[in-house]
């Protein structure tokens, strides 16, 4: 599932993609992927694309939130939660620090 999400994010030119293992920190999910968009429209499009691509692969998202504002779109895939955020919101909430507090956060700097 993680490779399909990465591919969907790459397709839409998402930026600053980070994966965090939260297996021992959360009872809600095992992994988080955090990415940024360049505009609210871009954030909404990325979230929608991730949702559609997962459906095409037979993985029905449990939910999607934030599609109406575009500041922060969350796609809940159960064991994996995808956060697509505007850079200001991402900086303010700093999920990487919040959830990756005791590990090295793996960041893909190619985006």
The CATH number covering residue 84 comes to: 3.30.460.10
Q: Considering the domain boundaries, does residue 104 fall inside one?
A: no
pLDDT at 109: 43
Q: Considering the domain boundaries, does residue 107 fall inside one?
A: no
pLDDT tens-digit readout, 71-106: 999 999 999 999 999 999 999 999 888 876 555 444
Q: Considering the domain boundaries, does residue 102 fall inside one?
A: no
Q: Considering the domain boundaries, does residue 105 fall inside one?
A: no
Q: What is the residue range of 42's domain? A: 2-97
Q: Considering the domain boundaries, does residue 106 fall inside one?
A: no
Q: Which of 90, 44, 91 is nearest to 70 (CA)?
A: 44
Tally the residues of the chain. 111
Q: Where is 107: in which H helix or E strand?
A: strand 106-107
Q: Per-residue confidence at 35, pLDDT binned at 50, 70, 90? A: very high
pLDDT at 5: 97
Q: How many domains does the chain fold into?
A: 1
Q: What are 108's two structure tokens?
A: 């893909």
Q: Which of 86, 99, 94, 78 is nearest to 47 (CA)?
A: 86
Q: Is the pLDDT of residue 28 over 70?
A: yes
Q: Which of 24, 57, 26, 58 is nearest to 83 (CA)?
A: 26
Q: Considering the domain boundaries, does residue 19 fall inside one?
A: yes
């Amino acid at each position: 599932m993680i490779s399909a999400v990465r591919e969907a994010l790459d397709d839409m030119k998402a930026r600053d993609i980070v994966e965090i293992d939260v297996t021992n920190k959360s009872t809600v999910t095992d992994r988080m992927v955090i990415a940024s968009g360049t505009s609210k429209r871009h954030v909404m499009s990325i979230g929608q694309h991730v949702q559609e691509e997962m459906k095409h692969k037979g993985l029905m998202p449990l939910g999607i939130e934030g599609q109406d504002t575009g500041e922060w779109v969350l796609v809940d895939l159960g064991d994996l939660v995808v956060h697509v955020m505007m850079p200001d919101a991402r900086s303010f909430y700093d999920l990487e620090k919040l959830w990756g507090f005791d590990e090295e956060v793996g960041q893909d700097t190619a985006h």
